Amino acid sequence: MILTVTLNMALDVTYEVPSVDWDGVNRVGAVHRRAGGKGVNVARVLATFGRDVLVTGLVGGPTGRAIEDDLEAAGLRAALCRIAGGSRTTLAVCETAGTPTTPGRQEAPTPHEGAGGRRTALFNEPGPHVTPDELAGFVRRYTSLAREADVVVLSGSLPRGVPADIYATLAGIPDAPVIVDADGDPLRHAPKGRPSVVKPNAEELARAFPGSGGAQELRSQGAEAVVVSMGADGLLAVTGEGTFRARMPYTVVGNPTGAGDALVAGLAMDQARSWPDRLRTAAALGAAAVAAPVAGAFDRDVYADIHPQIVIT
């Protein structure tokens, strides 16, 4: 069983609009609402591959009930801890103008703009306040669940009241491999729990460890391996078996929200595989997730096309 942990769960709302008029009225073409947070997105991708996955985390208030209902409707097993504070909502506004009919080979977009001017803006609420007693109750529940897990994924932002070193604490509990996907102080603290993999993106790594050598620094502090996602430039993995680079054959244009979560799902699957095989699957899933309209989904056709073309050096 793969256990995914999302302490700052959310109800993800995605608006699809032709283009955004920031000074006028915008007509939304399509609306998607579903349970989210990075660990939930990871679980959705794993479930698509038929993996046995269990979602845990913190939920509260009416939004928390909506999250629970959506997880049940999606057929995702969950063991959640309720808190007094209300869970957050996140909003992604995705422009659809210029979107290709079929995702595929496109010229590389600028950092904030896709082919034809397509852009995505994210609005993430901070989340509820968690009391010490609520956090202690979750840690007890997590400890029991983690002992039954084959792999544990700890990912996403932290709600208020949760200490920045919580991922280090949680990573040190199970004997199973632990993957941590975090930013800021939680990322800096994570190696203390000796996780199997720490997965920042390039910007997160640069913020946490200015200058070069951030991946090596994470390893020197206790992480067994560090996998850095670099968008269209692929992946860099610094491991005990050596350093690997996964290079993408072309850029996929779409909604990047959830691409890193799909990538983490690829890393969580089949731990016995070689690093090149794991990285190829992870990179292909990340690219295929960009072609899907909502986080937690991926385009199977893009995945099948791009997977064999990824070059590992």
- Of 231, 233, 224, the residue nearest 275 (C-alpha): 224
DSSP character for 266?
A: H
Could you tell me if 154 and 180 are in contact, meaning their C-beta atoms sit under 8 angstroms apart? yes
Could you tell me if 144 and 170 are in contact, meaning their C-beta atoms sit under 8 angstroms apart? no
Helices 38-48 and 259-268: crossing angle in degrees, nearest 10, is 60
- Cα separation, 266 vs 157, in Å, equals 20
> In degrees rounded to 5, what are phi and psi of residue 190?
-50, -40
> Active-site residue numbers?
261
Take residue 7 and report the two structure tokens written for it. Answer: 């302490």
How do strand 88-95 and strand 10-17 relate by DSSP bridges? Answer: parallel
Residue in the structure block whose two tokens are 């959705």: 44
Dihedral angle sign, alpha carbons of residues 284, 178, 261, 243: negative
Beta bridge partners of 204: none
Residue in the structure block whose two tokens are 């997590």: 142
Query: CB atoms < 10 A from the CB of 144, how many?
Result: 10
DSSP character for 132?
A: H
